[in-house]
Amino acid sequence: MSAIELYKIWSTDPYFDEATKAELKAIENDTTEIEDRFYKDLEFGTGGLRGVIGAGTNRMNFYTVAKASAGLATYIVEQGEEAKKRGVVICHDSRHFSPEFSQVAARVFAEYGIKVYLTDELRPVPMCSFSVRYFNAFAGVMVTASHNPPKYNGYKVYGEDGGQVTEVAAAAILANMAKFADVRTVKMADFDEAIASGLIQRFGPEVDIAYTEMLKKLVIDADAIKRQADISVVYTPLHGSGNKPVRRILKSIGLNNVYVVPQQELPDGSFPTVRTPNPEDPAALTLGIELAKKVGADLVFGTDPDSDRLGIAVRTKDGEYKALTGNQVGLMLLDYILDSKKKLGTLEDNAFACTTIVSTKLCKAVCEAYGVELQETLTGFKYIGERIKVDDEFGDKHFQFGFEESYGYLSGTDVRDKDAVVAAMLVCGMACQSQDMGETLIDRLYRLYAKYGYGFEQAVSFTREGKEGLDKIKNGMASMRAELEACKTADDVANLIGGPKPVAVRDYQKGVRYDFSEGEVKTTELTLPKSNVLLYELGGDKGLDWACARPSGTEPKLKIYFGVYDSDEKTAADRLESIKSEMSAFVENKLG
């Protein structure tokens, strides 16, 4: 069915609500907008849905949420009566329509006779993951678009282990969604009746208590926290779902001086005080830094709307505040956990940590120093969750810490997604330990650089909106891949990208590593799952420099990541700028 035909159905059929019809009536003469809203269904990827809120098949709305829920419900029914009884946990954050979308999902599941555990207020991603395991549910749904701008919302699906749904399950859910090509065939139970019957059950404080008690068991170096309990910190939830759980755990571990940014404390899906509610953007911490200067805080940190990402800024010796990158915080937390456990005698044998192929390469040296295995995964915390399941839950290894460069961190195994609440607790504990040692967190970072080498990583994003933009990203990656396949030597690749000679290039979509280290190209097979990623191994002083191109899985962007490592700080910084400039020009040219 064409976009125009779908538009007419959504604009006139009595199945659709009047607000939807009015929204579509307002664009009746805008064929470009109609095409963008209806040229396809909003894609259900391995993590679920994410898109702009609005009317249309390619938008987040009551009907696309209902269709996704019907696909998931059908999948659960196919697994048998036990799966239906175990049911689904549903949580949501502070975004526009998040509570309403949650109720729509609950009504669809109830229609299929599936038990629903529905949060009684906004709760973050880590608590959704935790709740799946707490209730022994078969699946979970988190209504969120994470750190995206206010116009977005999403629908994230979790498996019974509390990790993001697997590719196999996602494919089955997608196939079931196809059975509801006409969204008007989706049926929903009456909400009040389902509540009265107990099929939909509200949950609340009991999970808060259990989650907080679990986090307290993950405290590192409790003695240092006790000695430095008066450390002053500023926190902002950026109008999101982290406010209560973060403050609760910091109070539980005994921190006395936690200041919350008042303008950003309460939930607000418009996120009116920030350019974007993303703690990866240092500007998101502006109000936090202003408050920190007034109260003399040592540390500022913020969580995104669904509280799975944490950004921090630390006070320097001159009284200013410096934002740290996700790689820097991840490196410090990795060393903090392993070093503290080693000294306390609690670091298990057969321990392992996880990070991703686009995160700092200094992690390897840290893990080697403590005799801990480092596992690299594809980008996306779902892969780290899978390693916990395989090697810790069902294997004989012991997970210590996982992180990705995009400000996501995890300690413990009762949550299987990135967790900004535990990260906030760990960062505050690390700050207490550093203060106990007479150093700042900046001192701590440079102590690690002095030991392991200087590492600098950055990322550049190229945004291309709409259908045309997605085609440009797809075609750009295809062009880069085709030109790479024609290269016979490192010189060929260097001439192509306008940068240094690569040692090798990994094409994760084809599952091939092209090795140029001995002149003529040699190929070997990659072991990680297939993914639309090109990673260039660029050598350098420590042989670790790299650049990587991959389309974002959640936004209309092509992202280019860079990492450079050297024994000299300035040399590393200068080389990073050179590689970034060359590779960015190469990629932007491919996008047009």
pLDDT, tens only, 240-255: 999 999 999 999 999 9
The model's confidence at residue 498, banded by pLDDT at 50, 70 and 90, is: confident
Q: Taking the CA atoms of the chain, what radius of gyration do you get in angstroms?
A: 24
Residues in a beta bridge with 325 = none
**Which position has the token pair 């800024």?**
313
> Residue 500: what pLDDT?
87
Closest CA to 423 of 324, 308, 570, 583: 308
Total Cβ atoms within 10 A of residue 229: 13
pLDDT, tens digit, 9 for 90 and up, residues 375-407:
999 998 999 999 999 999 999 999 999 999 999
> Residue 466: what pLDDT?
80
- Vertex 425: Cα angle to 424 and 430 (nearest 5): 95
- Mean pLDDT, rounded, for 211-217: 98
Q: Is the per-residue pLDDT at 113 higher than 80?
A: yes
Spell 289-323 as b/e; 16+ CB within 10 A means b. bebbeeeebbbbbbbbbbbbbbbbbbbeeeeebbb
> Residue 23: what pLDDT?
97
Q: Which of 185-194, 259-268, 437-446, 540-549 has the lowest mean pLDDT?
A: 540-549
Ramachandran region of residue 211, left (φ > 0), alpha (ψ -120 to 50) or beta? alpha
**Which position has the token pair 């906004």?**
122
> Three-state DSSP class for 94?
coil
- Mean pLDDT, rounded, for 15-35: 96
Q: Is the per-residue pLDDT at 299 higher than 90?
A: yes
> Residue 553: what pLDDT?
72
Residue 56: phi, psi to the nearest 5? 135, 160
> Residue 520: what pLDDT?
82
The model's confidence at residue 137, banded by pLDDT at 50, 70 and 90, is: very high
User: For the chain, what percentages of helix, strand and coil (3-state, to nearest 5) are there?
Assistant: 45, 20, 35
pLDDT, tens digit, 9 for 90 and up, residues 368-383:
999 999 999 999 899 9
- Mean pLDDT, rounded, for 356-376: 97
The answer to whether 40-203 and 455-591 have equal CATH topology is no
> Residue 277: what pLDDT?
97
Which pair of structure tokens corresponds to residue 231?
A: 């450390």
- Mean pLDDT, rounded, for 24-53: 92
Q: Is the per-residue pLDDT at 519 higher than 80?
A: no
Q: Is the per-residue pLDDT at 48 higher than 90?
A: no
Q: Are 145 and 308 in contact (CB under 8 A)?
A: no
Q: What CATH homologous superfamily does 455-591 map to?
A: Alpha-D-phosphohexomutase, C-terminal domain (3.30.310.50)
Q: Is the per-residue pLDDT at 496 higher than 80?
A: yes
> Residue 436: what pLDDT?
96
Ramachandran region of residue 194, left (φ > 0), alpha (ψ -120 to 50) or beta? alpha
Which pair of structure tokens corresponds to residue 57?
A: 């098949």
Task: Give every strand in the sheet of 512-515, ordered side by side.
Answer: 454-463, 557-566, 545-551, 534-539, 504-507, 512-515, 522-525
The single residue of 98, 129, 131, 146 carrying the catalytic annotation is 146
Share of the chain above pLDDT 90, in %: 91
The model's confidence at residue 102, banded by pLDDT at 50, 70 and 90, is: very high
40-203 carries CATH number 3.40.120.10? yes
The model's confidence at residue 534, banded by pLDDT at 50, 70 and 90, is: very high
Q: Is the per-residue pLDDT at 13 higher than 80?
A: yes
Q: Which of 4-8, 203-207, 549-553, 572-576 has the lowest mean pLDDT?
A: 549-553
The model's confidence at residue 43, banded by pLDDT at 50, 70 and 90, is: confident
The model's confidence at residue 91, banded by pLDDT at 50, 70 and 90, is: very high
The model's confidence at residue 542, banded by pLDDT at 50, 70 and 90, is: confident
pLDDT, tens digit, 9 for 90 and up, residues 219-235:
999 999 999 999 999 99
The model's confidence at residue 417, banded by pLDDT at 50, 70 and 90, is: very high
> Residue 134: what pLDDT?
98
Q: Is the per-residue pLDDT at 422 higher than 90?
A: yes
Q: Domain boundaries in the chain?
A: 40-203, 205-452, 455-591
Task: Give every strand in the sheet of 299-303, ordered side by side.
Answer: 257-260, 232-236, 299-303, 310-315, 321-324
> Residue 51: what pLDDT?
93
pLDDT, tens digit, 9 for 90 and up, residues 304-350:
999 999 999 999 988 999 999 999 999 999 999 999 999 999 999 99
**Which position has the token pair 């418009």?**
270
> Residue 175: what pLDDT?
94
CA distances from 336 to 17, 73, 230, 339 (A): 54, 43, 20, 5
Average pLDDT of the chain is: 95
> Residue 532: what pLDDT?
94
> Residue 578: what pLDDT?
93
d(CA 386, CA 529): 12
> Residue 236: what pLDDT?
98
Residues in a beta bridge with 117 = 89, 201
Please tell me the pTM assigned to this model: 0.94
d(CA 428, CA 426): 5
48 or 504, higher pLDDT: 504
d(CA 383, CA 373): 16
> Residue 44: what pLDDT?
86
Which pair of structure tokens corresponds to residue 211?
A: 């989650």
Q: What is the CATH class of 205-452?
A: alpha beta
> Residue 459: what pLDDT?
92
Q: Is the per-residue pLDDT at 465 higher than 90?
A: no
Which helix (DSSP H) or strand (DSSP E) does residue 545 occupy?
strand 545-551
The model's confidence at residue 550, banded by pLDDT at 50, 70 and 90, is: very high
307 is catalytic: no
> Residue 518: what pLDDT?
84
Total Cβ atoms within 10 A of residue 113: 15
